[in-house]
Amino acid sequence: MTLIFYVDCPECEKDFYCDIELYHMDVELHCPYCGLYFKKEASARVGRPLKESHDLVTTTGRSQESFKIYKPAHPLRLKKD
């Protein structure tokens, strides 16, 4: 585990949390409730942790510049009853 930040989905407005490394990366987050991919800048509320204690080299082993980001062309969207 590491530090996390909360974020609201711009579409369904429900909140979830991510590893703080994603806060510092240029990646789209994925809403677990509705399946939307979005940049954190699109969110109405992004909560930051009070302190940050580690750099961007984590158990993924690499910094963002050294790998590509995969995003499904047709993300699974969860529809409610």
Residues 54 to 73: which contact other proteins by CB under 8 A? 54, 58-62, 66-73
Nearer to other proteins, 44 or 79 (CB): 79
Q: Which residues, other chains included, contact 44 with Cβ-Cβ below 8 Å and sequence gap of 6+?
A: 8, 10, 13
Q: x/- string (CB under 8 A) for other proteins, residues 10-39?
A: ------xxxx-xx--x-xxxx-xx-x----
* Calpha distance 48→67 (Å, rounded): 25
Measured CA to CA, the distance from residue 1 to residue 66 in angstroms comes to 23
H or E stretch including 30? strand 29-30
Nearer to other proteins, 41 or 66 (CB): 66
State the residues that interact with other proteins by CB under 8 A: 1-4, 16-19, 21-22, 25, 27-30, 32-33, 35, 53-54, 58-62, 66-76, 78
